[in-house]
A and B are shown apart, each in its own frame.
Chain A
């Protein structure tokens, strides 16, 4: 009958309309034997290729914790809502998670616009946004006690990659080809910043829609512009198409991309058409096939395949590792859980190395994005090989 009480001030003047809620002992979503963690993700929409493996990875880590007896006597209840990468669905999902499931933390929620839109709603009821599944810079900027990002932002990936290449090779004129959406725009911001910081000349900026498949015209324009390095801000399919079109046209300047292209599908594209593509990414995908039998990596791989019936994707690793960070923070926060303690525990994580061997991560009161470094890769013989394992951004 809380509604009734809230309505009362309307009918009775003079009475103060103070909230009648009293602060309980335990925070929302935490009982004597459970911690409720929520997430919304794209499990069946256009970005299901990201959403499904990532939420699988998270679930795997949380289930491991539960089968090992939980955290300080509490098991984790992990609730994932499907948003199909649609804004109204995400609003509904978040409403449900916050008001019905009473979640304690939001972990790995999908999508830049969804997270930007819904974070204020979460913060209103003291639910932190941990490691959303997007590399947008708004996930940790401006600094907010409840915002933590797993990734180095797309913007900084572009900047880091460009700086590395410019310092290695004598490059003055650069160009960008990015997809026409929020992610492409982030890339554009990073590109513009890097151009300014490094004193480069931008000779061409192009945008494309994700339905475009013919890039011959684009490449001709880039070629004619005298560009010496092409920066890409695309998704998976268009990375392959643009790269192949450039090499077919006999244009051999370096082409760099960022973490979205860092998937096996790009490296193993038909006829080696992506041979030589560079990418800067804030995480690392080990070669599971080459792992020693019996090692942690090989066991993990087998368990993942037997549980979900498919090969782990890079996003599974992201999901698993971000869930691992949450588990660590929960463990460090102790039995008397509060949101403040969990956040403080996260900020105290220093030089965390994920079990897959990716770049280290540190958090502090002023640094809420995990990655300390970027890693620079190149496609060689149909595989991603490390060019430089730690580059600053």
Chain B
């Protein structure tokens, strides 16, 4: 086991404290940077899509995992980002300006939703966000002068500073750039007062308020930042889809995002990324598995959702802390070998939650 000796004030807020973490993160970043050298187009496109979903996952994680506000309508923000970006590109905005503007639009809509949702809890919040998701989907369908209605909207080709980036690896690097930016940005946020106040609101609103946190404003901020990040993911997703239709951003997509962060493990950035890996790679794996199975089983309709659902149920039943929790336990087992005890992960500190006092 490694003990950390802090010798400077900055040690408290370093992104990666332990040597092991530094090594692991470097390996992943080098792998991602070098991926186009050895991956086929198909796998590279999948990896790009995975990064986009990881961004969206981090967006929702910020709200649900860190601030404790559940959202069943995040596909709406994904859609706002995608549509705004495509429409702005069509109008003639350059790529960077367009992606920033659409991120800002999604963020503002998120803050507006946050304003109305900041006093809601539990079921009421869930229903409000669900209604928002449905509302946005309907808006995409009916506002046909802007969004092309149900017939859909063609996304202009990816082009940065007049250089068309149509090859798969080029698009991949664009995704990677934004993904790294969002990961570092989110990690940075969580060591700032704003990020800490998010966690305080999640753990106990009453305690947070007693410590001088403006709970409503924190929630509005959280909704805004979360929506902006998800909107950014939506803008990138638009280039993967190349054609937008309202039902892409329906309730199912919202549930998928929520599922992603629950399976990954609530409350950590790594959890959002692990969740994105599961959600993106599981269908790919299943699709190849289907080819290997005998035709009588492999060609059965509905096999994928069945296996998909089973895996998710198993994860939730046997590892409620998500994949991140499992990873922590495995790591802890090796780091403290042979002193691993199950009770190490029983939570010691708990907060009194009084519904009446909210």
Q: Taking beta carbons and an 8 Å cutoff, which residues of A are in contact with B?
A: 1, 3-4, 6-7, 43-44, 48, 51-52, 55, 59, 79-82, 84-89, 91-93, 95-96, 98-100, 112-113, 116-118, 120-121, 180-186, 209
Contacts and interface: CB of A to CB of B under 8 A. Distances in A.
Nearest to A98: B42
A209 B142 CA distance: 11
B305 interface: yes
A51 B305 CA distance: 15
Contacts of B151: 112, 182, 185-186
A6 B36 CA distance: 10
B176 to A, nearest CB: 14
A34 to B, nearest CB: 14
B115 interface: no
Given A99-B40, A99-B42, A43 B302 contact: yes
Interface in B198-253: 237, 240-243, 245-248, 252-253
B299 A96 contact: no
A152 B284 CA distance: 35
A92 B46 contact: yes
Given A3-B37, A182-B151, A96 B42 contact: yes
B41 interface: yes
A298 B36 CA distance: 55
B169 A91 contact: no
Contacts of A82: 287, 301-304
Given A3-B37, A44-B305, A100-B42, A87 B248 contact: yes
B54 to A, nearest CB: 14
Given A88-B49, A116-B243, A180-B141, A7 B37 contact: yes
B121 interface: no
Contacts of A120: 242
A43 B283 CA distance: 14
A52 B300 CA distance: 9
B74 to A, nearest CB: 15
Contacts of A86: 248, 252-253
B329 interface: no
Residue from B44, B45, B150 with most neighbouring chain A CB atoms (10 Å) = B150
Contacts of B41: 95, 99
Given A44-B302, A180-B150, A184-B150, A117 B243 contact: yes
Contacts of A180: 138, 141-142, 150
B167 interface: yes
Contact of A96 (B142, B245, B284, B303): B284
28 contacts: A3-B36, A3-B38, A43-B301, A43-B302, A52-B301, A82-B301, A82-B302, A82-B303, A86-B252, A87-B241, A88-B49, A88-B241, A88-B248, A91-B241, A92-B284, A95-B45, A100-B42, A112-B152, A116-B243, A117-B242, A120-B242, A121-B242, A180-B150, A182-B150, A182-B151, A182-B152, A185-B144, A185-B149
Residue from A4, A91, A118 with most neighbouring chain B CB atoms (10 Å) = A91
Main secondary structure of the interface of A (DSSP, over half): helix
Interface in B157-177: 167, 169
A92 B283 contact: yes
A3 B169 CA distance: 8
A353 B151 CA distance: 32
A43 B287 CA distance: 13
Contacts of B39: 3
A266 B242 CA distance: 36
A59 B299 CA distance: 10
Given A44-B304, A99-B42, A113-B152, A181 B141 contact: yes
Contacts of A4: 37
B42 A88 contact: no
B247 A100 contact: no
Given A88-B248, A91-B240, A95-B42, 12 more contacts: A3-B36, A7-B37, A7-B169, A55-B301, A85-B247, A92-B46, A92-B283, A92-B284, A95-B41, A113-B152, A180-B142, A184-B150
Given A95-B45, A180-B141, A117 B241 contact: yes
Given A88-B241, A181-B150, A95 B301 contact: no
Residue from A43, A55, A81, A113 with most neighbouring chain B CB atoms (10 Å) = A113
Contacts of B283: 89, 92
Contacts of B241: 87-88, 91, 117
A93 B302 CA distance: 15
Nearest to B247: A181
Contacts of B36: 3, 7
Contacts of B44: 3
A364 B245 CA distance: 32
A75 to B, nearest CB: 14
Interface string B26-61: 000000000011111110111001000000000000
Contacts of A209: 138
A166 to B, nearest CB: 26
Residue from A1, A92, A180 with most neighbouring chain B CB atoms (10 Å) = A92
A100 B43 CA distance: 9
Residue from B144, B152, B305 with most neighbouring chain A CB atoms (10 Å) = B152
A44 B287 CA distance: 14
A182 B169 CA distance: 32
A87 B240 CA distance: 10
Given A87-B245, A116-B243, A182-B245, A6 B284 contact: no
Contacts of B49: 88, 91-92
A183 B154 CA distance: 17
Contacts of A1: 37
B305 A81 contact: no
A82 B303 CA distance: 9
A214 B303 CA distance: 35
Contacts of B302: 43-44, 48, 82
B284 to A, nearest CB: 7
Interface in B114-153: 138, 141-142, 144, 149-152
A49 to B, nearest CB: 11
Nearest to A116: B243
A43 B151 CA distance: 23
Contacts of A87: 241, 243, 245, 247-248
A43 B302 CA distance: 6
Nearest to A90: B241
A38 B291 CA distance: 13
